[in-house]
Amino acid sequence: MSIEYPGKSDTPRSHLPFSPATQVGDLLFVSGQASVDVTGKIISDTFEGEMRRSIENLRKVLEDADSDLAHVVQTRNYVRDPEDVAEFNQIYGEYFSAPFPARTTITNCLGPNLRYEIDCVAVVRKKRS
């Protein structure tokens, strides 16, 4: 089975050495998405602002690889400050619905420049013939 690196020219990319997404068969592995602009520059904001920008970046990477949030099977979430976990759960429920993807959430884990980051495993949508 081959390994592919899907994306488009405007798929959010980091200047760091990793791919936004890697595909093996119908599985898509999306690297951590944070509150960054299209050039990879960190955009500091409130927790809510950073989380929403991160998930919108995730949505763009998924769509550029023929998937979407509804096809996410697992997320890993990194929340810098434990006091943001309640807000995290509320916002998360706006983007993902029951039955929710499998999920891991880690706190006290990001440096001072980021409040939130998310990565995921998703299934690629079947292309219509």
CATH at 13: 3.30.1330.40
Domain contains 95: yes
Through-space distance between the first and last CA atoms of the chain, rounded to whole angstroms: 21
Q: What pTM did the predictor assign?
A: 0.92
**pLDDT 10s digit of each residue in the chain, 129 long?**
799 988 887 777 777 788 899 999 999 999 999 999 888 889 999 999 999 999 999 999 999 999 999 999 999 999 999 999 999 999 999 999 999 999 999 999 999 999 999 999 999 987 644
* Residue-number span of the structural domain to which 65 is assigned: 3-123
Residue 85 lies in a domain: yes
Is 129 part of any domain?
no
Asked whether residue 80 is assigned to any structural domain, the reply reads yes
Of residues 48, 49, 38, the one with CA closest to residue 15: 38
d(CA 118, CA 37): 15
Residue 112 domain-assigned (yes or no): yes
Does the residue 43 lie in any domain? yes
| Euclidean distance between CA atoms 110 and 113, whole angstroms | 8
User: How do beta strands 116-123 and 72-79 pair?
Assistant: antiparallel
Look at residue 62 in the predicted model and tell me its pLDDT: 97
pLDDT at 127: 64
Distance of CA 16 to the CA centre of its chain: 16
The phi, psi pair for 36, rounded to 5°, reads -130, 160
- Give the total number of structural domains in the chain: 1
Whether a cis peptide bond, with omega within 30° of 0, leads into 12 is no
Residue 9 lies in a domain: yes
